[in-house]
Amino acid sequence: MSMMPSAHVDTFTRHHLPPADTWPALEFTLPELHYPERLNAAAVLIDDAVEQYGADRPALWTPDGSVWTYGQLQTRSNQVAQVLTEDLGVVPGNRVLLRGPNNPWIVAAWLGVLKAGAVVVTTMPMLRSTEVSTLIQLTKPVVAISDHRFVDELAIAAGDDVAGSTVKVLTYGAGNGFDDDGDLVSRCGHKSGKFTAVDTAADDVALLGPTSGTTGVPKVTMHFHRDILANADTFARYILKPTAQDVFAGSPPLAFTFGLGGLVVFPLRFGASSLLTEKAGPVELAEHASKAGASILFTAPTAYRAILKENRGDLLRSLRIAVSAGEHLSKETWEAVYEATGLQLVNGIGATEMLHVFISAAGDDIRPGATGRAVPGYRATILDDDGNELGPGSIGRLAVIGPTGCRYLDDPRQANYVVRGWNVTGDTFSMDADGYFTYQARSDNMIVSSGYNIGAPEVETAIDQHPDVVENAVIGIPDEERGSIVCAFVVLRDGVEGDAGKRKEIQDFVKQTIAPYKYPRDVRFVHELPRNPSGKLQHFKLRDGVLKDAAQSAATTEQLTPAGQSQA
């Protein structure tokens, strides 16, 4: 596959792209998707925006009412680029890891990394040191920028030197003084704020996005500069139809490409502004959004249900569009929101591999219960297990082709995601004669809980480290509030009692080992786990047992011979 001349001096990402014959098909069917060969996404998103909309237009809001204008965001992102290149010697193609909650400085850092021609690796601030170490080993960053409140685990990981080279750590937000050499904000204060973005190729890698895998090792997706704009020029442009007067708000972290698109890329692409909330429950988020005059909201069905349960649907009524993604949106939830607020929730499915949403519908095109149709610029179908397309009415594997697609960083699982040019998402769907897709289930071992993707094997690995655990198996089970929750079946050492205290002990242990949102909310102690004659663990029997339990209102199934269970 022919690629444009790269601006990268450090060629790590280009050399670790998957083999060209394993790439998905790419299609650029819309005029907006015909990008120039030389393209820096950050220059388009902030420099072009300042030129088009003016430096004084609001760009980023925070709940306390403070605001960064487009001009201020441009200056600070330029200063970040200066710090990286002038002080730290970052060259085009180097990776820079970011760690922090949703706030203006993480946005400035993200833009600054891209302006410097480097490759941004945005991580969840909740990740523990072992998880960060794995990402450092995979992506090999030379610099890590962290909110000062989340630097401890990062410092441990960077100190492990797992990447084979020292990772320089810079913090921001501590306010340690103008001359603090370790503080990004202090360093930026010494810079002019004038920087010309590196002349990257449209197909230079700009972003490495870790995604939870169905094995313990995360997959890392690779996205080009043009990819970052493509989702704005498809889903945002044709489904959300934003204007410069819109104010975006939402719950997803910027480390999720769902949040990155909805709270950074989309508003900047169209001259709008964004409300950034570091941490807020559903009702608090809705209160902040209402106070800020937000017109477009991104969050998961779980949050919309929570807002309605608190009888605060009034907080949503001023929205122009409410987007639901990250987990399945049921027809019942859609109808409840509509009845309470008059809002027609925009459903959608996306993937880190595709960068953002590729199936959706808005307004009169919405059919409650269905996810939607392929977003303009994409096309989708249903495949059988052999990779053949199925006709309307059939149930099978969802597959999609468009201007973005799966490229894993040096990972053999590329062959599992791309089938005959199609991106196969790991979801089971049906499609009707009108091209509307309806979700059926996850077809792999991923647990989607409150919009978070949680790889069951990663949780199993964490539980296995507990000294009293002999073995365990993790599945996702249905939950009315969260869509699914993590359920762990645990075999304990002889003589150890599986009681409520041990259950909480294991849950707390997992929270200290991996990101807390991954912990098992349901822990069931059993004497043995179901296996086939060759010794392979049979997760499907656990799932079937849970469903049978629910149907029969029984405590357990015969296969599990339980020692006790309870849900936390």
Average pLDDT over residues 229-239: 97
- The pLDDT score that the predictor gives to residue 218 is 87
**The pTM is what?**
0.86
Q: Is the pLDDT of residue 217 over 50?
A: yes
The confidence score (pLDDT) of residue 166 equals 78
Q: How confident is the model at residue 180 (pLDDT cuts 50, 70, 90)?
A: confident
b/e per residue 184-203 (b: at least 16 CB within 10 A): bbbbbeebebebebbebbbb
**Residue 60's pLDDT is what?**
98
pLDDT at 44: 98
Predicted local confidence at residue 568, as pLDDT: 38
Tell me the average pLDDT of the chain: 91
Strand order in the sheet with 219-224: 168-172, 143-147, 95-99, 119-123, 205-211, 219-224
72-76, 348-352, 479-483: lowest mean pLDDT where? 479-483
Q: What is the pLDDT of residues 94-104, one digit of tens each?
A: 999 999 999 99
Q: Where are the domains of the chain?
A: 1-21+69-211, 447-567
Q: Which of 342, 378, 340 is nearest to 359 (CA)?
A: 378
- How many angstroms separate the CA atoms of 208 and 228, rounded? 11
* pLDDT tens-place string over residues 339-367: 999 999 999 999 999 999 999 999 999 99
Task: State yes or no: pLDDT of 557 exceeds 90.
Answer: no
Res 315 pLDDT > 90 = yes
Contact 102, 79 (CB under 8 A): no
> Do residues 33 and 377 touch, judged by C-beta distance below 8 A?
yes
Question: Using one digit for the tens of pLDDT, what is the confidence trace for 411-443?
Answer: 999 999 999 999 999 888 999 999 999 988 777
For the chain, give the number of residues: 568
Residue 53: which H helix or E strand, with range? helix 49-53
Q: What is the mean pLDDT of residues 224-245?
A: 98
Nearest alpha-carbon partner for 453 in 498, 366, 518 = 518
Residue 255, classified by CB atoms within 10 Å of its CB into exposed (0-12), middle (13-18) or buried (19+), is buried
Mean pLDDT (whole number) for 260-282: 96
- Under CATH, which number does the domain 447-567 receive? 3.30.300.30
For domain 1-21+69-211, give the CATH superfamily: ANL, N-terminal domain (3.40.50.12780)
Query: 7-32: per-residue pLDDT in tens?
Result: 999 999 999 999 999 999 999 999 99
Q: Work out the angle at residue 490's Cα, subtended by the Cα atoms of residues 484 and 492, and round it to the nearest 5 degrees.
A: 160
Highest averaged pLDDT of the listed ranges 89-98, 125-134, 535-544: 89-98
For 547, list phi and psi in degrees, rounded to 5: -65, -40
| Helix residue ranges, H only, 84-203 | 104-115, 129-139, 151-159, 184-188
* Alpha helical stretches, state H, 196-300: 225-231, 257-260, 266-269, 282-291
Closest-CA residue to 256 (of 454, 123, 105): 123
Predicted pLDDT at 454: 86
Long-range CB pairs of 365-370, under 8 A, 24+ apart, other chains included = 367/436, 368/331, 368/334, 368/335, 368/338, 369/330, 369/331, 369/334, 369/438, 370/432, 370/436, 370/437, 370/438
